[in-house]
Amino acid sequence: MRGVEDVPHIVLSTTFRDFDGSRNDCMQLKFLYSLKRQAYQDFILVVTIFQEKKVVQVVKKILGDKAVFIYDCGSEKYKFSLSKTFMNGVEYGLENRADILVDCSSDIVLQKNFLETVRRKVRSHTAGISHPNVFVERDRDAKRKYIYGRLNRGIDIRFYTLDLFQDKHVYEIMGRFPSYDYGAGIERVLCGIAIKYAKKRVNIFMESKVLKEENSREEQRGIETEFMREGVIRNVPITERFMQREQISKKYMSLLEMNQAYKITKKKLLYQLMFGREIISFRFRQFAVALKE
């Protein structure tokens, strides 16, 4: 890490669906403009290109030289692999002596102070998350429905000080346990890295808001549902091998437990009030399952 007087350099890593005139275009554009509006501008966006044709043109138009592109056609088995997206960000960050990696999806909108908040909250060997404060869903008629954040609906944003990945063992984990396709499971691997190797784990949910507008899958629901289902089947055994090898508790298979592994940085009591009912309900279900066993 650089000295306290220096400003850390942030690398963001993500990938995009192609810009094809669908509703997803609008959502991804909102993400890009939310980066352009960030109060903290010392960042580079590392975009992994798999098979997309129009992403480079659109991203360059908005962010200019604040974006770089890594082309990764990959094998059929690993197409669209999110572990590759993540490691492209890590490798770019290490090569360019960056301090922080922010790994995120491209269907979110970040509050103006998000990157500044990340910068302020990290120290050496820090891992952090935030999860969406609000979800926006659309029905078949394109009507918007707003749902408040839930602990079991995904994390979407993870950040790490890159000194974590200067350790050879940590650096090689994603190569040993790669995700297939978009794949379920990468969140468990990344949470496991934080639990096992980070000295500090933080959740900035109460300090900077994130809105998530869900990807529209209506136009290709049959194809995509099967694609995601196959990804889960392929990735679960990999996740289980990772957790066994690194001796990570199986309770962290749950998104709610993954969220709870990170310490809220502000307004902790309010956070507990907001999500207490969901947490209690989850604990009761766990207890009921344990009784049956």
**What would you report as the CA-atom Rg of the chain, rounded to the nearest whole angstrom?**
19
Is the per-residue pLDDT at 78 higher than 90? no
Tokens 């350790």: give the residue.
Answer: 167
User: Per residue in 180-225, pLDDT tens?
Assistant: 766 567 889 999 999 999 999 999 999 999 998 865 554 444 445 5
239/233 Cα distance (integer angstroms): 11
| Closest residue by Cα to residue 86 from 7, 151, 165, 166 | 165
Domains and CATH numbers, the chain: 10-292 (3.90.550)
Q: pLDDT (tens digit, 9 = 90+) per residue, 213-228? A: 865 554 444 445 565 6
Average pLDDT along the chain? 86
What pLDDT score was predicted for residue 234? 79
Cβ(14)–Cβ(103) under 8 Å? yes
Provide CB contacts within 8 A for 189, sequence distance 6+: 83, 173, 174, 177, 179, 239, 242
Q: 161 pairs with which residues across the strands?
A: 100
Picking from 215, 239, 182, the residue whose alpha carbon sits closest to that of residue 20 is 215
Q: What three-state secondary structure class fits 7? A: coil
In the predicted structure, residue 111 carries a pLDDT above the cut 90: yes
In the chain, % of residues over pLDDT 70: 84
In sequence order, the β-bridge partners of residue 211 are 109, 134
Structure tokens belonging to residue 177 = 């346990």
Q: How confident is the model at residue 76 (pLDDT cuts 50, 70, 90)?
A: low
CA atoms within 13 A on the CB side of 133: 14
Q: Supply φ then ψ for residue 85, to 5 degrees.
A: -60, -45
145: which 2 tokens?
């429905």
Token output for 47: 């975009």
